[in-house]
């Protein structure tokens, strides 16, 4: 009799375990169904789309430097690049100026700067001083940063070259150019050299 009671108890425990598994699976299925039914087809990855009348047809264009040279002139000077007027040009200020200069130089808006565009921008910005400029030739400038060798600079190549020049001019490696570092870096460029690497 004791043996029969033990077998019955074991059978009951087995049945309870099976029922518990079934209940757990049922609970998981019910929760999953509830979660899915709460979802709708609405986009959940960001803000709702703007109504078509609220979306501008095109971005505000940047006038090329050959049309408005005055827009580019501040980006050629220490004071013009020092956006927060704290007496130093940070790497962020330098990179932002490079991006803006790229957009001003890319006159045909094809996403690359050619020798002709760079020459035209320099003539427009420098005026009669263009031939006496302290900047290396457009061909040399492009060749120094043209990683794919196509004779043009993309925005990434342009900013990369600019960042490389910044790093060479930043003599104390503090990610900021003071006036002395700026002047020394540009004096070397005037002689056709680039500042020494640190």
Predicted TM-score of the model (pTM): 0.61
Kindly tell me if the per-residue pLDDT of 81 is higher than 50: yes
Distance from C-alpha of 161 to C-alpha of 109, rounded to nearest angstrom: 20
Specify the pLDDT at position 197: 40
- For 22-79, the pLDDT digits (tens) are 655 665 565 555 555 655 555 444 445 555 555 555 555 666 766 676 777 777 889 9
In contact, 101 and 165? CB cutoff 8 Å = no
Say how far residue 27 (Cα) sits from the centre of its chain: 47
Distance from C-alpha of 180 to C-alpha of 178, rounded to nearest angstrom: 6
Distance from C-alpha of 13 to C-alpha of 100, rounded to nearest angstrom: 76
| Closest to 125 (Cα-Cα) out of 85, 44, 67, 81 | 67
With cut-offs at 50, 70 and 90, classify the pLDDT of residue 91.
Answer: very high
Across residues 179-196, what is the average pLDDT?
A: 72
- For 132-175, the pLDDT digits (tens) are 555 678 899 899 999 999 999 999 999 999 999 999 999 999 99
The encoded tokens of residue 59 equal 């971005």
């Amino acid at each position: 009799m004791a043996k029969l009671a033990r077998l019955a108890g074991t059978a009951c425990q087995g049945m309870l375990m099976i029922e518990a598994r079934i209940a757990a699976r049922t609970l998981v299925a019910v929760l999953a169904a509830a979660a899915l039914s709460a979802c709708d087809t609405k986009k959940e990855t960001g803000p709702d789309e703007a109504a078509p009348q609220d979306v501008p047809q095109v971005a505000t264009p940047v006038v090329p430097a050959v049309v408005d040279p005055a827009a580019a002139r501040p980006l050629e000077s220490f004071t013009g690049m020092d956006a927060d007027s704290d007496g130093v040009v940070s790497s962020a200020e330098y990179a932002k100026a490079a991006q803006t200069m790229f957009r001003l130089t890319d006159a045909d808006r094809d996403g690359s700067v050619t020798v002709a565009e760079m020459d035209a921008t320099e003539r427009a910005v420098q005026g009669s001083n263009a031939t006496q400029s302290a900047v290396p030739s457009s061909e040399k400038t492009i060749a120094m940063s043209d990683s794919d060798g196509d004779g043009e600079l993309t925005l990434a190549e342009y900013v990369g070259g600019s960042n490389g020049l910044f790093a060479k001019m930043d003599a104390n490696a503090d990610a900021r150019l003071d006036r002395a570092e700026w002047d020394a870096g540009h004096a070397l460029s005037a002689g056709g050299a680039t500042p020494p690497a640190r």
